[in-house]
Amino acid sequence: MAEPEKILDDRDLMRALIAANDRVIGDNVIDLRGMALDRLETRLERLEDTHRSVIAAAYENLAGTNLVHRAVLQMLDPLSFEEFLKTLSGPVATTLRVDCIRLVLESVQEAEDPALRRLGDVLCVAEPGFADAYLGFGRRTQPRPVLLRQTVPGSDQIYGDRAGWIRSEAVMRLDLGPGRLPGLLVMGAEDPHHFKPAHGTDLLAFFAAVFERTMRRWLS
């Protein structure tokens, strides 16, 4: 009697007490209190499940925020454009846990230009209009700034030899400033569940915004 919470918090014991009470009452009497307790217990279980899901989502979001912040700092370290691209495909890709990152720039310049080839596989040059076409692949609506999808359109132009391995991707449209053609920042993953349309895009939008501003400085 001095510590009733020990009994009240023991679900198995409470079920046994309620069942014993039902047997004493008999089959010809309906105990509404027992029914109410069963409903309350069901609602409590649902609330506890929701509570756990909210906490798990909060921790996951915090972890994702920390990863993006770390990747942004890594992206701001290089002092040359070549180092910037190498960092993008190395430390930044590792931090964000993606298998490859590609920067797609629309240009009338030939992709096989020696100056471009020197910059490595991270940089891809595409014809004008490629960015919007790739973002709108298989969609009739206006392309979104950040697109997550699991069905990846075959594009050797972006992934090269790794095109057959990529199973999900995040595609971010880049506004590189007045008078310049748009571009794309594409992250590809071999895990088909790494990027899903149901995932939030706020962190990726923030990363793309920082990347845009960094690219504008390099292009200037």
Could you tell me the residue ranges of all domains in the chain?
A: 80-219
- Tell me the mean pLDDT in the region 22-33: 65
The answer to whether 137 touches 171, Cβ cutoff 8 Å, is no
State residue 24's pLDDT score: 65
Q: Give the orientation angle of helix 202-219 with respect to helix 32-76, to 10 degrees.
A: 10
More confident residue, 56 or 114: 56
State residue 12's pLDDT score: 82
Q: Given a cut of 90, is residue 158 above it in pLDDT?
A: no
Q: Given a cut of 60, is residue 30 above it in pLDDT?
A: yes
| CA 207 – CA 95 distance, rounded (Å) | 13
Q: Given a cut of 80, is residue 165 above it in pLDDT?
A: yes
Tokens 């920082």 locate to 210
State residue 209's pLDDT score: 93
Least confident of 43-47, 116-120, 178-182: 116-120
Domain 80-219 part of CATH 3.40.50.2300: no
Cβ neighbours of 160 (radius 10 Å):
12
More confident residue, 91 or 110: 91
Q: Given a cut of 70, is residue 22 above it in pLDDT?
A: no
- Tell me the mean pLDDT in the region 39-53: 83
In 3D, which of 78, 127, 130, 122 has the Cα closest to residue 103? 122
